[in-house]
Amino acid sequence: MNIINFRGGFSFSMKGGPDNSVTHANSSNKVALVPPRIPGFKAKVIVRVGDKVSLGQVLFYNKKNNDLKFSSPASGIVSNITYGNKRILQSIEINVANKKNSSYIKFSHENIDQLSKNKIVDNLINSGIFSKIKTYPGFDFIESKEKFLDDNKNLFISLFSSEPHIADIYNLFENKIYEKLFADGLIVCSKIFKTINIFNRQRDYPEEINECSNNLENVKLHTIENKYPAENPGLQCLLTNSLNKSTMNTYADAFVIIEIGHLFSKGFVIQERYLSISGSGVKNPTNFLVKAGQPIKNLLDDLVENLDSDYRLISGGLLTGKKIHTSDYLSDGDLSLQVVKEDRERTSLVFFRLGLNSLTMTRNWLSALFPKSEYDVSTNNNGEERACIQCGYCYDVCPTGLMPSLLMKSAIINDIEKMEYLSIDECIECELCTFICPSKIEMGQHIKNGKEFIKKEG
């Protein structure tokens, strides 16, 4: 199989990666459903405190789009609904019922082959899985059910992550049940998608998936160079030349396919989620299978010694993840929880050192000549923000061949024409340009603001 190569990118190697084992974490009897961590998301809650809810029951949906439903992570009684500023939903807490009293919403699953396309999509919407499939460009929810029913759409799935410390789905496939569920999910997806592109780094595909691709015409297997951001669906879209106005490109995490498989083979939504708890602040970084909606504090209690202001808690990868708090609950998009040191130490004369321990993509430090197998990283900014000096580093690393610094500048002055001329919507938000910028400019953020501006102006 040929390997897909791409320009730019970087292989990160840093301390605190998870090992290959998968552990079942203890579950708390209090879980919560949190809306996606997306600014501007408005939820319409359809349950009240005290209501009895079942596993997979819809608790709220997106005000702008009724098809984006979010379902209960457990069966139990709604104990609390918290709102933040401007009555933005923060979380819906549920006291989990014991095994005897638990219930779940049933979805039709008798025979996958006989289910109509419409029925499959209805099941996906009502179980809340539909909201876990996103589109590129835009990295947004799917606009409407009608659009989704359209035939011309691709699905991109990655079976690996080159971003540091995100749980590797292969470890889960050691358990054949999940591999089977994934294959089932693929069969369901193959009915509603034109093509399904599965990406993997240079290693063998699991048997079930190989078999799937042999049996199903529209499942394509790819092998891609293992460097960040190879798992980015936007990049995969570009590399497979799928970007096309008439085609909708969608992507989902590998675990979402397992969820789909579970929904259609067992008839109810899966309660587990798969993530890694890792980072330099964690004692034994490893992969976990946990019940959805767990309080994060519970998960981290045994693993992290003193989770105070010295450490930062990140949901997702180190480059694209979001800052979260210990009081939060596990959200569906969380593929990993990382604990990284907040390093405010004022090391002296750091610019004159050889830099054998400096993680760098440039050749400014000696570590470029003698790379270490693992770097200790912290959240230090490594400098202050300065004006752009046009060094061109961002051009070298951009995997899509865009012009980050020009995009950044046109985004700052809100020049829509220029931004669109430079194909701003094709930016895959991998944040490599921000990572490498020696002037420490928030390139990615500026470009995202530019995208927001275009969206707002229409």
Considering only residues 360 to 379 of the shown chain, the ones binding other proteins according to CB under 8 A are 360-365, 367-368, 377-379
431 touches other proteins by CB under 8 A: yes
Q: How many Å apart are CA 413 and CA 221, to the nearest integer?
A: 42
**Strand spans (E) along 118-271:** 134-136, 140-141, 153-158, 195-200, 219-224, 248-251
Q: How many Å apart are CA 451 and CA 446, to the nearest integer?
A: 9
Q: Residue 156 CB, nearest distance to other proteins (Å)?
A: 15
Q: Is the bond into 438 cis (omega within 30 degrees of 0)?
A: no
Q: Residue 290 CB, nearest distance to other proteins (Å)?
A: 22
Buried b (16+ CB within 10 A) or exposed e, 135-145: bbbebebbeeb
Q: Residue 116 CB, nearest distance to other proteins (Å)?
A: 31
The residue from 389, 414, 452, 455 that contacts other proteins (CB under 8 A) is: 389
Say if CB 329 and CB 295 are below 8 A apart: yes
* Pairing relationship of beta strands 286-291 and 22-24 according to DSSP bridges: parallel
Query: For the window 139-168, what string marks contact with other proteins as x by the rule CB under 8 A?
Result: ------------------------------
The residue from 226, 423, 453, 454 that contacts other proteins (CB under 8 A) is: 423
The residue from 437, 447, 450, 451 that contacts other proteins (CB under 8 A) is: 437
Region of 31-39, 62-70, 197-205, 400-408 interacting with other proteins (CB under 8 A): 400-408
Query: Total binding residues for other proteins by CB under 8 A?
Result: 75
Which residue's CB is nearer to other proteins, number 76 or number 444?
A: 444
445 touches other proteins by CB under 8 A: yes
Full strand arrangement of the beta sheet holding 22-24: 22-24, 286-291, 272-278, 336-341, 311-315, 322-324
**Sequence-separated (6 or more) residues with CB below 8 Å from residue 88:** 41, 42, 43
The residue from 386, 414, 452, 455 that contacts other proteins (CB under 8 A) is: 386
Nearest Cα residue to 286 out of 309, 304, 313: 304
Q: How many Å apart are CA 333 and CA 188, to the nearest integer?
A: 22
What are 30's strand-pairing partners?
A: 95
Give the pair of three-digit tokens for residue 415: 């020049």
**Can you tell me which residue has the tokens 């949901």?**
315
Q: What is the largest CA-CA distance in the chain?
A: 70
Q: Residue 13 CB, nearest distance to other proteins (Å)?
A: 12
Q: Residue 123 CB, nearest distance to other proteins (Å)?
A: 32
Which residue's CB is nearer to other proteins, number 9 or number 261?
A: 9
The residue from 4, 403, 412, 416 that contacts other proteins (CB under 8 A) is: 403
Which residue's CB is nearer to other proteins, number 172 or number 419?
A: 419
Q: Scanning residues 179 to 208, which ones bind other proteins (CB under 8 A)?
A: none
Query: For the window 293-312, what string marks contact with other proteins as x by the rule CB under 8 A?
Result: -------------------x
342 touches other proteins by CB under 8 A: yes
318 touches other proteins by CB under 8 A: yes
Which residue's CB is nearer to other proteins, number 138 or number 401?
A: 401
The residue from 214, 421, 452, 455 that contacts other proteins (CB under 8 A) is: 421
Q: What is the DSSP track for 109-151?
A: -S-GGGS-HHHHHHHHHHHT-GGG-EEETTTEE---HHHHHSS
340 touches other proteins by CB under 8 A: yes
Q: Residue 369 CB, nearest distance to other proteins (Å)?
A: 9
Which residue's CB is nearer to other proteins, number 121 or number 398?
A: 398
Query: For the window 4-33, what string marks contact with other proteins as x by the rule CB under 8 A?
Result: ----------x-------------------
Phi then psi for residue 155, to 5 deg, are -125, 135
Q: How many Å apart are CA 354 and CA 347, to the nearest integer?
A: 14
Which residue's CB is nearer to other proteins, number 130 or number 193?
A: 193
Q: What is the DSSP track for 15-49?
A: S----S-EEEPP--SEEEE---S-TT--EEE---T
Name the amino acid, one letter, at 247. Answer: T
The residue from 435, 447, 450, 451 that contacts other proteins (CB under 8 A) is: 435
Q: Residue 231 CB, nearest distance to other proteins (Å)?
A: 15
Q: Residue 355 CB, nearest distance to other proteins (Å)?
A: 6
Q: How many Å apart are CA 327 and CA 382, to the nearest integer?
A: 29
The answer for 103, left when phi > 0, alpha when psi is -120 to 50, beta otherwise, is: beta
Q: Residue 171 CB, nearest distance to other proteins (Å)?
A: 24
Q: Scanning residues 227 to 286, which ones bind other proteins (CB under 8 A)?
A: 238, 241-244
Which residue's CB is nearer to other proteins, number 267 or number 438?
A: 438
What are the Cα distances from residue 90, in Å, to 147, 208, 370?
29, 39, 47
Q: How many CB atoms lie within 10 A of CB 198?
A: 23
138 touches other proteins by CB under 8 A: no
343 touches other proteins by CB under 8 A: yes
405 touches other proteins by CB under 8 A: yes
